[in-house]
Amino acid sequence: MNTLISVDNLQKNYGDATALRGISFNVEVSELTVIIGPSGCGKSTLLRCLNGLELFDSGRVMIGDITLELNNGATQRDLNTQLRHLREEVGMVFQSFNLFPHLTALENATLAPVVVKKVDRKTAEARARELLAKVGLGDRLDYYPSQLSGGQQQRAAIARALAMSPKVMLYDEPTSALDPGLVGEVLSIMRRLDDEGMTQVVVTHEMHFARDVADKVLVLADGELIESGSPDVIFTSPRDERTRTFLQRYL
């Protein structure tokens, strides 16, 4: 197996409150890993630590050849450099879309490669057109976010993240803000990316998606990783009583 993400003993505190307690796991290349657990258990915090939006208190995150580790003598400048490189390699999709409202779908998907990676605009725009067509928005290039449905906005956000040619895609509850009828169109894009070999880590409450599509399921509770394994194991014979209680609510 070829490990792309390695998380070792991750600890995150907010004052006296502990959000993550010694989290450790690996994600292999081309693997789709789903993170589940009750609200407030640390899922989103963990995801934000993976792309540097949250700085953890101890432990280590390695993604490819990039390492984030606060207690290894690195200066803040070194850390900022690593964070910049990390965000070029990691795509992030949020539950609230986070598209620039004053830019069209095409402009949203073109901007980051031009500004961050210094890709010439013509090349970046051609790639953005290709990706927007891939997510079913080839006829919505000149639409502003306010003119798109929630599902279309989330698909545009996925295209924007893919425009940076990331090694891994992270999703924080990508369907939670959508009407039930629009959920499927976003999940279908993630299924297609999985078929194409994209490494993906997904925080979600879509249990059927986790059961049917994931290669690995991580279960969090009270800031701890209480168990992990294949969907067959997690959904049919979970070891921890907290996992059983959680799944009974959703299945």
For residue range 96-149, list pLDDT tens digits in order.
999 999 999 999 999 999 999 999 999 999 999 999 999 999 999 999 999 999
Q: Which residues have a Cβ under 8 Å from the Cβ of 244 and sit 6 or more positions away?
A: 238
Return the closest-CA partner of residue 168 out of 208, 202, 144, 143: 202
Can you give the residue ranges of every domain in the chain? 3-250
Distance CA 183, CA 175 (A): 6
Return the pLDDT at 77.
73
For residue range 196-219, list pLDDT tens digits in order.
999 999 999 999 999 999 999 999
pTM: 0.94
Return the pLDDT at 251.
73
Return the closest-CA partner of residue 16 out of 63, 70, 64, 57: 57
Distance CA 22, CA 20 (A): 6
Query: In which element (H, E) is residue 217 found?
Result: strand 216-221
Q: What percent of the chain has pLDDT over 70?
A: 97
Least confident of 152-156, 177-181, 200-204, 206-210: 177-181
Distance CA 208, CA 175 (A): 13
Return the pLDDT at 55.
87
Structure tokens at 13: 């505190």
Confidence of residue 40 (pLDDT cuts 50, 70, 90): very high
Structure tokens at 160: 């924007």
Distance CA 23, CA 43 (A): 11
Q: Which residues have a Cβ under 8 Å from the Cβ of 46 and sit 6 or more positions away?
A: 7, 10, 12, 20, 23, 35, 203, 220
Cα 130 to Cα 5, 110, 152, 195, distances in angstroms: 28, 11, 16, 18
Query: In which element (H, E) is residue 7 found?
Result: strand 3-14
Return the pLDDT at 249.
87
- Count helices and strands (H / E) in the chain: 9, 10
CA 244 to chain centre: 25
Distance CA 108, CA 153 (A): 11
Return the pLDDT at 76.
67
| Whether residue 52 has pLDDT greater than 60 | yes
Confidence of residue 74 (pLDDT cuts 50, 70, 90): low
Cα 12 to Cα 54, 78, 87, 200, 238, distances in angstroms: 9, 20, 20, 22, 26
Confidence of residue 72 (pLDDT cuts 50, 70, 90): low
Query: CATH topology for 3-250?
Result: Rossmann fold (3.40.50)
CA 2 to chain centre: 19
What rounded mean pLDDT belongs to the chain?
A: 93
Q: What mean pLDDT comes out for the span 183-193?
A: 94
Q: What mean pLDDT comes out for the span 5-22?
A: 96
Confidence of residue 73 (pLDDT cuts 50, 70, 90): low
Q: What mean pLDDT comes out for the span 153-180?
A: 95
Confidence of residue 79 (pLDDT cuts 50, 70, 90): confident
Return the pLDDT at 228.
97
